[in-house]
């Protein structure tokens, strides 16, 4: 899921840079198609003022690729059921999960359009692009066994390609950050402009998440806990889920200073790397050690 989310978001950035899509909340103020200043008044909200280009929608793309992976993964279990009643159950599960999938996608799309941050075609494009990325990953089993080296190489490629693309176009006098001044100019409230939403902030977050995942999966802590004998126990899994959810809430309290851009990027990378590392390695290892100590005491 993290691979799909990261690569999907990276493609979203590249598509946004190629497509130069406007967002309704600034477009409506700049377009000449409404005569005599009769342009409609679009209400803005605290989450309207996204600073990147608008096409395709990153929220729609991220949501569709991640949910697609979850639904297809869940359905791959029910496909294995063989007897007759299981076939009916599989069909019911199939209809239920895909209905949920589309309800979520439609809700995301409507909300992005409602807050005036996207045109309808941008969210539709986002949903289908997300499904395509997820489908491509279904046929890439190599990510399941990727080594740390592979994670680092992928990270470097994603970073250098995006930076190279940005710098090459800058040489041609095309500024890919053209949308940031527009957002600043037309946002109804300057406090709603969030550095988190700039194209490079998203890139750094994704690189951090992938790097943290690679470190976690290739760490001793992960191997001892998640590949050990406890890993199949339902109690181990439930404890890991509960502890991970609680720990992730704590990360919400870590606020990164935004006054210095470079420091923001570095800290944002570290925070994004720490989150998967915590969930994949640290929490399972602590739960594993706790269970082992308890077992020893009981024996
Ligand atoms: O294009 P949307 O739906 O407004 O989404 C914007 C978001 O897109 C994501 O891809 C970026 O990682 C975020 O930083 C950004 O805020």
- Kindly state whether residues 175 and 239 are assigned to the same domain: no
d(CA 13, CA 255): 24
Binding site membership of 57 for ligand 1 (Cβ less than 6 Å): yes
Note whether 16 and 91 are same-domain residues. yes
81 and 226 both lie in a single domain:
no
What confidence score (pLDDT) does residue 81 get?
Answer: 66
Are 54 and 163 contained in the same domain? yes
pLDDT of residue 290: 92
Whether 178 and 228 map to the same domain: the answer is: no
What is the reported pTM? 0.91
pLDDT at position 247 is: 94
Task: Specify if 205 maps to a domain.
Answer: no
Question: In terms of domains, do 184 and 292 share one?
Answer: no
On whether both 189 and 69 belong to a single domain, the answer is yes
Q: Are residues 47 and 134 in the same domain?
A: yes
118 among known catalytic residues = yes
Cα-atom radius of gyration of the chain, to the nearest Å? 22
Ligand 1 atom at shortest distance from the alpha carbon of 50: 4
Q: Are 148 and 281 in contact (CB under 8 A)?
A: no
Residue 212: inside a domain: no
Is residue 244 a part of any domain in this protein? yes
- Ligand 1 atom, smallest distance to 60 CA: 3
Nearest to 206 by CA among 164, 278, 157, 244: 157
Model pLDDT, residue 106: 98
The reply to whether 250 falls in a domain is yes
Mean pLDDT by 10 residues, the chain (299 residues): 95 96 94 82 94 96 97 85 76 94 98 97 98 92 91 97 96 94 95 90 96 95 86 90 94 88 93 96 94 85
**How many CB atoms sit inside 10 A of residue 166's CB?**
18
214 lines ligand 1 (CB under 6 A): no
Residue 199 falls inside a structural domain: no
For residue 213, being part of any structural domain is answered with no
| Catalytic annotation present for 59 | yes
Q: Using N-to-C axis directions, what is the helix angle for 199-217 and 261-277, rounded to 10°? A: 30
Number of domains in the chain: 2
Same domain, yes or no: 35 and 174:
yes
Bond before 179 cis per omega within 30 degrees:
no
Q: Where in the sequence is the domain holding 281, given as residue range(s)?
A: 219-298
Residue nearest to atom 10 of ligand 1 (CA): 58
Residues 171 and 252 in one domain: no
In a shared domain, residues 224 and 172: no
Would 67 be classed as within a structural domain? Answer: yes
Is 202 inside any structural domain? no
Same domain as 167, residue 29: yes
Q: Which residues contact 201 (CB under 8 A, 6 or more apart)?
A: 195, 264, 265, 268
């Amino acid at each position: 899921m993290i691979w799909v989310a990261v690569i999907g978001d990276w493609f979203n950035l590249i598509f946004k840079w190629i497509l130069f899509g406007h967002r309704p909340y600034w477009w409506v103020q700049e377009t000449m198609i409404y005569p005599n200043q009769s342009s409609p008044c679009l209400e803005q909200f605290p989450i309207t003022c996204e600073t990147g280009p608008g096409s395709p929608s990153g929220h729609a793309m991220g949501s569709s690729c991640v949910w697609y992976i979850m639904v297809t993964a869940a359905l791959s279990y029910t496909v294995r059921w063989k007897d007759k009643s299981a076939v009916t159950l599989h069909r019911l599960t199939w209809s239920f999960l895909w209905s949920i999938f589309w309800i979520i996608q439609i809700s995301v799309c409507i909300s992005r359009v409602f807050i005036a941050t996207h045109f309808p075609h941008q969210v539709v494009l986002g949903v289908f692009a997300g499904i395509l990325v997820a489908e491509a990953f279904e046929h890439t089993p190599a990510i399941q066994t990727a080594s740390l080296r592979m994670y680092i190489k992928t990270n470097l490629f994603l970073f250098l390609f995006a930076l190279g693309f940005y710098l090459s176009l800058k040489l041609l006098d095309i500024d890919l950050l053209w949308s940031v001044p527009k957002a600043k100019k037309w946002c109804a409230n300057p406090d709603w402009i969030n550095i988190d939403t700039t194209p490079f902030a998203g890139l750094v977050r994704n690189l951090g998440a992938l790097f943290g995942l690679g470190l976690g999966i290739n760490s001793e802590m992960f191997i001892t806990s998640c590949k050990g004998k406890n890993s199949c126990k339902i109690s181990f899994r439930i404890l890991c889920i509960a502890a991970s959810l609680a720990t992730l809430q704590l990360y919400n309290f870590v606020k990164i200073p935004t006054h210095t851009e470079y420091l923001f990027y570095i800290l944002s990378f570290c925070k994004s790397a720490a989150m998967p590392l915590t969930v994949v390695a640290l929490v399972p290892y602590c739960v594993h050690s706790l269970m082992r100590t308890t077992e020893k005491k009981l024996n």
